[in-house]
Amino acid sequence: MTGYSAPLKEIQFTLEAVAGLADLAKLPGLEDAQPDLICAALDEANKLAESVLVPLQRIGDTQPPKIENGVVRTSPGWRDAYKQYVEGGWNGPAFDPEIGGGGLPWAATTALNELFGSACLSFTLGPLLTQGAIDLLEAHGTSEQKEKYLEKMVSGEWTGTMNLTEPQAGSDVGALRTKAVRDGEKFRIHGQKIYISYGDHDLTDNIVHMVLARIEGAPAGIRGVSLFVVPKYLVNEDGTLGDRNDLRPVSLEHKMGIHGSPTCVMSYGDGDGAIGWLVGEENGGIQAMFTMMNNARLGVGLQGLSVAERALQQATAFAAERRQGRDPETGEENAPISRHPDVKRMLATMRAETEAMRALCYWVAARLDESRRAPDALVRAKSQRLLDLLIPVVKAYCTDRGVEVASTNVQVHGGMGFIEDTGAAQILRDSRIAPIYEGTNGIQAMDLLGRKLVRDGGEAMAELIDLMRNDLEISAAAGFNDLASGVGVGVDALEAASKSQLQRFGANPAAASAAAVDYLELTGRVVSAWLLTKGATSVKTWAGGDASFAEARIAVARFFVARLLPPAIALTEILGSGAEAALAVSAATA
């Protein structure tokens, strides 16, 4: 298996030229987020990724966690790696320094999380959920809950989890059966949860579970769900750990990939009941949990980028070393396969998809920073609308692309890609869960259409379209008229599709919904093409005398606009009749 080293210059460029790091550093509380500091942080993080996390990739796959005497033991090397990870302060860079965080923008934290995920995806699932749980408690926890848990979670001394799914309640969270019985100011939790990443492990002394359950007497369905904080060990008033709570890991799931991540079946309340405390309002659990879910959806979308970058590096290295056939341009025999036109096409596609995902993830993360910190309430509100609109796009679009890039990596390897020893198959196996968890990508598409587009009558989408058109005018004036023109066609198509989907949803929600995935794909492609063009427009200035770096970024943008954007624009032809045809097939074969 090949190694990994973060593409630091590409990351820094995307943060600064696309996400707008300089503007983020002007926001209250982010004044220290200067390019030199972020660059130094990325460099140090890459050292940890290369030397400590990369070796875990194969170990976790071949030596997965085990349950011993009711305790999950993580894969060899995991505990030492986690110790180095938290000692470096990498668990909470985006959080307030008052609770031990690093005070960095979420955009910069997203960049750090990208390279950790590329190094070893299974390892980073625990910290990803912990960051989401911290975000949730900051937004909805009581002052007592914040004082009790946040500093230990930010430091990484304790981890956090998300407990939604049950055997009979997957995406339909309202069908859950876990119950909460009132016991004074606390509750006794009884039920079983499945697919709980890092539900138990030996990395920390305590695990803080965020558990959805229904209080006795609450309404049926999603309106009767509440959220509880349920620690593995109860916490005394002085902050020390007390008795073991009534919860346990029943078993570990045997999965297609991400073997190093302990995915637990968790049982709550086999005895008197696991003690938990209400977070947020009674029956308001799903609203509170959405804070954590949206954080996780950005993180899961980022996983698509992480696996794509790892796959791209592996495919590029293999294609340069593997010799076979004749170079069609020079006639050289036994030439590196990287010279063959179809391999060039695959590698170019992998690179363009990866750089587009990076631009999308970082730009959306920057809107998260603005939505929370901008002094102007109107700016905060607009950034929040754009964030809400694009979170499902990041999650679905990037995870789908991650699987495709990982699959192309196998194809570049040829027969060797199908052999486990190369590691290409593992990257593909690990990537496949991402389009499923945190809401399947079909659910993300329905969220974009039914909740985001329809809810505000297309207002947020119209704001995004205006923003893109303004930037394209700047690109055209800077001499990139070919890119501006090509992306402009896509923006026009997205505007027309948005209007038609709004009308179609009002007349026939089922037909519009059958095309929701196509609409999300169009959105993702157009926004990605715009962001690549935005970067290409400023790259020569940003890169200074590095002409090769600038030329490469411009070439990638032109490839994306010429090759990958047009098929998405063509989706507008099937948003209407194609969706109705899908419904007709379903009806005919029922």
CATH of the domain spanning 159-283, picked from 3.40.718.10, 2.40.110.20, 1.10.600.10, 1.10.3720.10: 2.40.110.20
Type and span of the H or E element at 1: none
pLDDT score for 586: 66
DSSP, collapsed to helix, strand or coil, labels residue 263 as: strand
Each residue of 95-132: pLDDT tens digit?
999 999 999 999 999 999 999 999 999 999 999 999 99
- Give the separation between CA 78 and CA 68, rounded to whole angstroms: 16
Instruction: Compute and round to an integer the Cα radius of gyration of the chain.
Output: 24
If you count them, how many residues does the chain have?
Answer: 590
Above pLDDT 90, what percent of the chain?
A: 89
Beta-strand relationship, 247-252 and 158-163? unpaired
Cβ-contact 435, 163 below 8 angstroms: no
- As a whole number of Å, the end-to-end CA separation of the chain is 46
Type and span of the H or E element at 325: none
Residue 173 pLDDT greater than 90, yes or no: no
pLDDT score for 587: 67
Cβ-contact 178, 226 below 8 angstroms: no
pLDDT score for 589: 72
pLDDT band per the 50, 70, 90 thresholds, residue 545? confident
Residue 478 phi/psi, 5° resolution? -85, 5
Beta-strand relationship, 158-163 and 206-215? parallel
Residue identified by tokens 């505990």 is 79
Cα–Cα nearest to 498, from 561, 444, 571: 571
pLDDT score for 588: 72
Mean pLDDT value across the chain: 95
pLDDT band per the 50, 70, 90 thresholds, residue 1? low
- Give the separation between CA 495 and CA 90, rounded to whole angstroms: 40
Cα 508 from chain centroid (whole Å):
32
Q: Going by C-beta distance under 8 Å and a sequence separation of 6 or more, which residues neighbour residue 550?
A: 539, 540, 542, 543
**What is the dihedral angle through the alpha carbons of 376, 378, 384, 389, rounded to the nearest 10 degrees?**
-150
Question: pTM of this prediction?
Answer: 0.96
Beta-strand relationship, 226-231 and 233-235? unpaired
pLDDT score for 291: 86
Residue identified by tokens 């230990």 is 152
Q: Is 438 a catalytic residue?
A: yes
Each residue of 393-438: pLDDT tens digit?
999 999 999 999 999 999 999 999 999 999 999 999 999 999 999 8
Residue range 479-490: mean pLDDT, rounded: 98
**Active-site choice (438, 473, 495, 573):** 438
Residue 526 pLDDT greater than 90, yes or no: yes
Type and span of the H or E element at 274: strand 274-279
pLDDT score for 292: 86
Each residue of 300-340: pLDDT tens digit?
999 999 999 999 999 999 999 999 999 898 999 999 999 99
Residue 168 is classified by DSSP as T
Residue range 479-506: mean pLDDT, rounded: 96
pLDDT score for 491: 98
Better-scored residue on pLDDT, 341 or 287: 341
Give exposure, 490-501, as e/b (b: 16+ Cβ within 10 Å).
bbebbbebbebb
Tokens, residue 536: 């290409």
pLDDT score for 113: 97
Cα 436 from chain centroid (whole Å):
12
pLDDT band per the 50, 70, 90 thresholds, residue 295? confident
pLDDT score for 580: 74
pLDDT score for 575: 81
Residue range 470-497: mean pLDDT, rounded: 98
pLDDT band per the 50, 70, 90 thresholds, residue 82? very high
pLDDT score for 276: 98
Each residue of 334-384: pLDDT tens digit?
999 999 999 999 999 999 999 999 999 999 999 999 999 999 999 999 999
- Give the separation between CA 556 and CA 483, rounded to whole angstroms: 11
- Give the separation between CA 198 and CA 187, rounded to whole angstroms: 23
Each residue of 242-269: pLDDT tens digit?
999 999 999 999 999 999 999 999 999 9
Each residue of 11-56: pLDDT tens digit?
999 999 999 999 999 999 999 999 999 999 999 999 999 999 999 9
CATH class of the domain at 8-155: mainly alpha
